[in-house]
Amino acid sequence: MKDRTNQEWLDELRGPDAAPAIADLRMILFRGLRAALSGRIRSDLESVLEDFTQDALLKVLDNLHTFRGESRLTTWAQKIAIHVAYSELRRRRWKDISLQSIIENPDGADFTPALLTDPNALPEKQASQNDLLAFVNRMIEEELTERQRTAIQAVIIGGMPIGEVAQRMETNSNALYKLIHDARKRLKARMIENGISPEDVLDAFS
């Protein structure tokens, strides 16, 4: 493989005969992704790496104008490739999980995230935790709009990536951030009105 300076990479990738440089960059990205992801992908590794490499290569070529020369171009390109791959892996993780299953229990019971429960807590602390969870659940049901409830339960409680939730709610990430911000602001105000601060909730589950 030809050794190139940053400027040579740019000139060749933008030039009329870019095929050799593109082929070399593609191989570099493929090898980098293999090293980074070989322990994370359990099946069809070669096929998945091919897909990620192609997506990353297109993104790199589309963003050559943003390269500032602060590192080797190949290092910069590999960082883009890793970002592309991890974003796609996160998306695939949630692909077969419905939004409804995140925000609702099958038996219709209140949603209680496992990370907020401590099976080893003393009875007094468990009682305090249960009271606070009941209060928070009630505030979510009574004070928030349906879209606010969905956003809070999916992103904050369920842990689904905000981009995935935004897509399923047919909105964009910025609008969803605003929706969640308004919902949290409303919940905080109601907690304070009832003599409960957000710090009280965190302390109960610390």
Burial class (CB in 10 A: 0-12, 13-18, 19+), 98: exposed
Q: Which residue has the tokens 């249960």?
A: 130
Instruction: Please give the model's pTM, rounded to 2 decimal places.
Output: 0.52
Q: Which of 57-61, 71-75, 98-102, 178-182 has the lowest mean pLDDT?
A: 98-102
- Closest by CA to 28, choosing from 64, 79, 90, 87, is 79
| Mean pLDDT on 119-135 | 65
Q: Architecture of domain 6-93 in CATH?
A: Orthogonal Bundle (1.10)
The predicted-structure confidence for 3-44, as pLDDT tens digits, reads as follows 899 999 999 999 999 999 999 999 999 999 988 887 777 677
Domain with CATH 1.10.10.10 in the chain: 99-204
The predicted-structure confidence for 86-121, as pLDDT tens digits, reads as follows 877 777 666 555 555 555 544 444 444 443 444 555
> How many CB atoms are located within 10 Å of the residue 7 CB?
10
The tally of CA atoms less than 13 A away on the side-chain side of residue 203 is: 5
Alpha helices in 38-72 (DSSP H): 45-62
Query: For 99-204, which CATH class?
Result: mainly alpha
Domain with CATH 1.10.1740 in the chain: 6-93
* Residue 109 pLDDT: 43
Residue with more model confidence, 172 or 122 = 172
